[in-house]
C-alpha cells in the first residue's frame, strides 16, 4: 500500500503540472485548454505511454470524479448572471427544452438504427449527449469574445443541460438496472432527482449567504474564510443531495452556484478568483484521467457507424435544434451558424458514461458498455478537437466577434477608459510596452497586448484589422500622433482618437485630421460642469454603472418612417431619445421628428434600459 501511494503522488503531480501547461498553451495559442488536456490524457494512458492505468485510483475514482464535477458545475453556475439571461431569454428556454428534446430523440434514433444498439442503451447515450457543458463552452468563450447574447445562451445551455443530461441518464439507467420502464415511474425518478437537488442547493446557498453576509468571519482573514466556505458549500451541496438521491448532486451544485452568483455576497471577487484557479486544476485532473481510460478498441468496434453518429449529432442535429430554438429571435444568421458548430460535449457525459460502463460490465453487459463508452468518447473527442480547436477560426470566418476597441497606453487614463468601455460590453484590448504596466493591467483583469504600438506589426497582432475604434491615450503626444496616423493609413478603423497632453498640440493634431481630446481642456470642462451643472456632472460620473448614454444608428425596418412620438411607448422604461444626428448635423428631436434609416440617435437613461433600446433600434448590435 505504501508503494502504491508513493507511485500515486508523482502521478497526481504530473497530471496537475500537465494541466497547468495546457492552460498556458491555451492562452498562448488561443485554443481551448480541453484540446490539450484530452491529448495529454491519451498520451499518458495505457494506449500510448502507459503511465496512467485505469486502476491507478482504485475504487476512489468515481468519488473523485463526482466531487470534481461538483466544483466544475458550481463554478460555471456561479458565473451565470440573471441580467445576462435577459439578452436572449426566449432562445435560452427553447434551447434547453425543445433543443434538448431534439438532441435526445435524434441521437437515440441514430444510435439505435446506425449502431444497432438496444433502445435502452440508445436513449442512455442520447441523454448523455444532450450536455454541452461549461467545462468546454467556457474555455471556448474565453478565446472567442462573442456578443453577450451569444455567450449568455451558450453558457446557460451548458449549465442547464449538464444537469438535465445527468438526471435523464440516471433515469434511463434505472430502466436498464432495475427494469423500471413505466412512464409515470420514470417521471417520478426524474422529478425526485431534480427536486432533491434544487432543495438541497437552495438550502446550502441560503446558509452560505447568511454566514457570509451577517457573520464576522475573521478580522484578519475574512476573504480567505469566505473562499473556503464557498468551496466547502459546493462540495456539501453535491454530497448531501447525491446521498439522498443518486445524481441529484449535480443539480444541487448548479442551484447553489446560480443563487450565490446572483446574490450580493461580500468578497465576491476573491471568491471568484479562487474558484477559478481550483476549477482549472480540477478540470485538468478529470479530463486527463478520463481520457486516459479510453481504449482505442472501443472506438474501432464502432467502425464507420460511429463516424456516422458523430456526423449526425454535430452536423445535422445541432444546427437543426439551434435554428429551431432561435427562430424569431434577434440572432443573426452567422451567430446561429456559430452556435450550431460550437456545441462540444464535455465532462458530464465522459464521467457518467465511464461510471455507467463499470456497472454495465458488472451486470455482464459488456457489449453495451463498449457501445456506450465508445460512442460518447468518440463524439467528445471529435467535437472538442474540431469545434473547440477551430472555434476562433469559425467565429472569424462567420464574423461574429464584435469589433475591437484598441486603447494605446495602459496607464491610468488608458485603464480607466478600458474599464468604462468594458462595463458597457465592448471588446477592449490595451497595447502597452512597459512590462511593469503590462503586469499591473493584466492583474486588474484587462486584456493587454505587450508591444510598441508605433509598429504596424504590433497593431495588427492586437487586432487592428478588426478594430472599430483606435484610441491613442499615452502620455507622449508624439507617440499618440504617430499611432493615429499609422492606424489610419494601414487599418482604416471607423474612429481614431488621440489624447493631447499639451494643449498647444491639440490644434495641430486636428489640422492633420486627427480627432483630438485635450487633457487640459477636458479637465477644465469637467470642473466647469461640477460648478455649473452638478446634477448632470454627478450622473455622468456614473456612466456605465447605473446610467448610460449611447449613440446608435437606426437600422430596424419598423422604425424607419416613424415619428418620435410613435416609438416612445416601444422603448424600455427609463430611457429616452436625447439627440438625432443626420447629415452631419444634430438636434434635440421634437415629437413629430420622422426617423430615416442611418440616422444616429443618442439614447440616455438607465444602463439596462439603454442596452435594450440599442438592441431594438439596431438589432445587429444588440
φ, ψ of residue 67 to 5 degrees: the values are -65, -35
pLDDT of residue 1: 41
| Set of cell numbers at residue 621 | 448590435
Query: For residue 404, which of 146, 137, 30, 153 has the smallest C-alpha distance?
Result: 146
Residue 418 has pLDDT above 70, yes or no: yes
In the 3-class helix/strand/coil scheme, how is 242-309 assigned residue by residue?
A: HHHCCCHHHHHHHHHHHHHHCCCCCCHHHHHHHHHHHHHHHHHHHHHHHHHCCCHHHHHCCHHHHHHH
Kindly tell me if the per-residue pLDDT of 620 is higher than 70.
Answer: no
Distance of CA 167 to the CA centre of its chain: 23
What pLDDT is recorded for position 206? 94
Q: What is the mean pLDDT of residues 46-55?
A: 79
Sorted by sequence, the CB contacts under 8 Å of residue 532 that are 6+ apart come out as: none
DSSP conformational letter for 590 = P
CB contact at 8 A, 82 and 263: no
Residue 352: name the closest of 124, 155, 195 by CA.
124
pLDDT at 85: 60
Least confident interval from 271-280, 553-562, 579-588: 271-280
pLDDT score of 5 more than 50: no
In whole angstroms, what is the distance from residue 36 CA to residue 16 CA?
Answer: 13
561 burial level (CB within 10 Å; 0-12, 13-18, 19+): exposed
Cα–Cα distance for residue pair 38/506, rounded to 1 Å: 55
Question: What torsion, rounded to 10 degrees, do the Cα atoms 417, 143, 263, 421 define?
Answer: 10
Question: Which strands make up the sheet holding 448-450, listed edge to edge?
Answer: 448-450, 427-432, 404-408, 467-472, 495-500, 515-518
Within a 13 Å sphere around the CA of 13, how many CA atoms are in the beta-carbon half? 6
User: How does strand 600-606 pair with strand 547-553?
Assistant: antiparallel
Whether the CB-CB separation of 48 and 293 falls below 8 Å is answered with no
Buried b (16+ CB within 10 A) or exposed e, 29-42: eebbbbbbbbbbbb
Tell me the C-alpha distance between 591 and 402, whole Å: 33
Task: State the residue for C-alpha cell 430596424.
Answer: 556
Q: Give the relative orientation of helices 183-214 and 148-177 as an angle to the nearest 10 degrees.
A: 130
**What would the grid cell of residue 31 be?**
485554443
263, pLDDT greater than 70: yes
CA atoms in the 13 A half-sphere facing the CB of 585: 3
Using a 10 angstrom Cβ sphere, with 0-12 exposed, 13-18 middle and 19 or more buried, the burial of residue 190 is middle
409: cell is: 497606453
Q: CA angle at residue 159 from 377 to 58, to 5 degrees?
A: 45
From 147-151, 191-195, 233-237, the region with the lowest mean pLDDT: 147-151
For domain 545-621, the CATH class is alpha beta
CATH number of the structural domain 54-263+293-398: 1.20.1530.20
CATH superfamily of 404-537: NAD(P)-binding Rossmann-like Domain (3.40.50.720)
pLDDT in tens, 501-511: 888 888 878 87
Report the candidate in 610, 383, 19 with the shortest Cα–Cα distance to residue 11.
19
Q: What is the pLDDT of residue 311?
A: 94
- Is residue 4 over pLDDT 60? no
Read off the pLDDT band of 491 (50, 70, 90).
confident
Residues 454/483, Cβ–Cβ less than 8 Å: yes
- Residue 564 confidence (pLDDT) above 70: yes
In terms of Cβ atoms closer than 10 Å to its own Cβ (0-12, 13-18, 19+), residue 10 is exposed
324: cell is 429551431
Report the pLDDT value the prediction gives residue 2, as an integer from 0 to 100: 41
Nearest to 417 by CA among 477, 470, 491: 470
Q: Which residues have a Cβ under 8 Å from the Cβ of 534 and sit 6 or more positions away?
A: none
212 to each of 222, 233, 271, 452, how far by Cα in Å? Answer: 9, 12, 11, 45
| Residue 215 predicted with pLDDT over 50 | yes
Give the chain's length.
Answer: 622
Percent of the chain residues past pLDDT 70, beyond the cut: 93
Residue 88: its pLDDT value, please? 53
Domain ranges of the chain: 54-263+293-398, 404-537, 545-621
Mean pLDDT of the chain, nearest integer: 83
Amino acid at each position: 500500500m505504501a508503494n502504491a501511494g508513493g507511485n500515486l503522488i508523482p502521478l497526481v503531480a504530473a497530471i496537475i503540472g500537465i494541466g497547468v501547461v495546457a492552460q498556458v498553451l491555451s492562452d498562448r495559442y488561443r485554443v481551448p485548454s480541453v484540446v490539450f488536456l484530452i491529448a495529454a490524457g491519451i498520451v499518458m494512458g495505457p494506449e500510448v505511454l502507459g503511465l496512467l492505468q485505469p486502476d491507478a485510483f482504485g475504487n476512489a475514482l468515481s468519488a473523485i470524479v463526482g466531487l470534481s464535477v461538483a466544483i466544475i458545475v458550481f463554478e460555471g453556475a456561479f458565473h451565470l448572471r440573471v441580467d445576462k439571461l435577459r439578452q436572449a431569454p426566449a432562445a435560452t428556454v427553447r434551447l434547453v427544452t425543445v433543443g434538448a428534446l431534439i438532441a435526445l430523440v435524434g441521437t437515440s434514433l441514430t444510435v439505435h438504427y446506425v449502431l444497432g444498439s438496444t433502445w435502452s442503451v440508445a436513449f442512455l447515450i442520447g441523454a448523455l449527449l444532450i450536455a454541452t457543458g461549461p467545462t468546454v463552452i467556457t474555455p471556448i468563450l474565453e478565446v472567442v469574445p462573442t456578443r453577450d447574447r451569444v455567450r449568455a445562451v451558450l453558457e446557460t445551455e451548458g449549465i442547464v443541460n449538464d444537469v438535465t443530461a445527468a438526471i435523464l441518464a440516471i433515469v434511463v439507467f434505472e430502466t436498464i438496472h432495475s427494469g423500471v420502464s413505466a412512464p409515470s415511474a420514470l417521471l417520478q425518478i426524474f422529478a425526485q432527482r431534480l427536486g432533491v437537488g434544487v432543495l438541497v442547493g437552495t438550502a446550502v446557498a441560503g446558509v452560505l449567504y447568511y454566514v457570509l453576509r451577517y457573520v464576522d468571519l475573521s478580522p484578519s482573514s475574512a476573504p480567505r474564510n469566505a473562499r473556503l466556505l464557498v468551496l466547502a458549500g459546493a462540495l456539501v451541496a453535491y454530497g448531501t443531495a447525491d446521498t439522498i438521491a443518486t445524481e441529484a448532486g449535480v443539480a444541487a451544485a448548479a442551484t447553489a452556484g446560480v443563487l450565490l452568483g446572483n446574490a450580493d455576497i461580500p468578497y465576491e471577487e476573491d471568491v471568484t478568483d479562487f474558484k477559478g484557479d481550483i476549477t482549472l486544476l480540477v478540470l485538468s485532473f478529470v479530463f486527463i484521467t478520463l481520457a486516459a481510460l479510453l481504449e482505442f478498441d472501443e472506438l474501432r468496434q464502432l467502425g464507420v457507424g460511429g463516424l456516422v453518429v458523430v456526423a449526425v449529432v454535430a452536423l445535422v442535429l445541432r444546427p437543426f435544434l439551434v435554428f429551431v430554438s432561435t427562430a424569431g429571435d434577434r440572432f443573426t444568421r452567422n451567430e446561429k451558424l456559430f452556435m450550431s458548430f460550437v456545441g462540444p460535449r464535455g465532462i458530464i457525459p465522459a464521467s457518467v458514461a465511464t461510471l455507467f460502463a463499470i456497472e454495465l460490465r458488472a451486470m455482464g453487459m459488456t457489449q453495451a458498455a463498449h457501445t456506450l463508452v465508445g460512442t460518447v468518447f468518440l463524439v467528445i473527442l471529435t467535437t472538442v478537437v474540431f469545434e473547440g480547436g477551430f472555434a476562433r477560426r469559425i467565429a472569424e470566418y462567420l464574423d461574429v466577434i464584435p469589433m475591437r476597441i484598441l486603447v494605446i497606453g495602459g496607464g491610468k487614463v488608458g485603464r480607466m477608459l478600458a474599464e468604462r468601455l468594458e462595463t458597457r460590453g465592448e471588446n477592449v484590448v490595451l497595447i502597452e510596452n512597459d512590462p511593469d504596466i503590462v503586469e499591473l493591467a493584466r492583474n486588474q483583469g484587462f486584456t493587454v497586448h505587450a508591444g510598441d504600438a508605433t509598429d504596424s506589426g504590433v497593431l495588427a497582432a492586437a487586432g487592428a484589422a478588426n478594430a472599430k475604434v483606435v484610441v491613442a491615450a499615452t502620455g507622449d503626444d508624439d507617440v499618440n500622433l504617430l499611432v493615429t496616423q499609422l492606424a489610419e493609413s494601414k487599418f482604416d478603423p471607423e474612429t481614431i482618437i488621440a489624447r493631447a497632453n499639451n494643449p498647444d498640440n491639440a490644434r495641430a493634431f486636428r489640422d492633420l485630421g486627427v480627432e483630438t481630446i485635450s487633457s487640459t481642456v477636458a479637465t477644465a470642462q469637467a470642473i466647469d460642469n461640477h460648478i455649473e451643472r452638478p446634477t448632470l456632472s454627478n450622473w455622468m460620473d456614473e456612466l456605465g454603472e447605473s446610467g448610460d448614454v449611447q449613440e446608435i444608428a437606426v437600422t430596424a425596418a419598423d422604425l424607419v418612417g416613424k415619428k418620435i412620438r410613435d416609438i416612445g411607448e416601444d422603448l424600455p422604461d427609463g430611457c429616452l431619445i436625447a439627440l438625432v444626428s443626420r447629415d452631419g448635423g444634430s438636434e434635440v428631436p421634437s415629437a413629430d421628428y420622422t426617423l430615416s434609416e442611418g440616422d444616429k440617435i443618442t439614447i440616455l437613461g438607465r444602463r439596462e434600459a439603454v442596452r435594450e433600446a440599442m438592441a431594438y433600434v439596431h438589432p445587429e448590435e444588440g
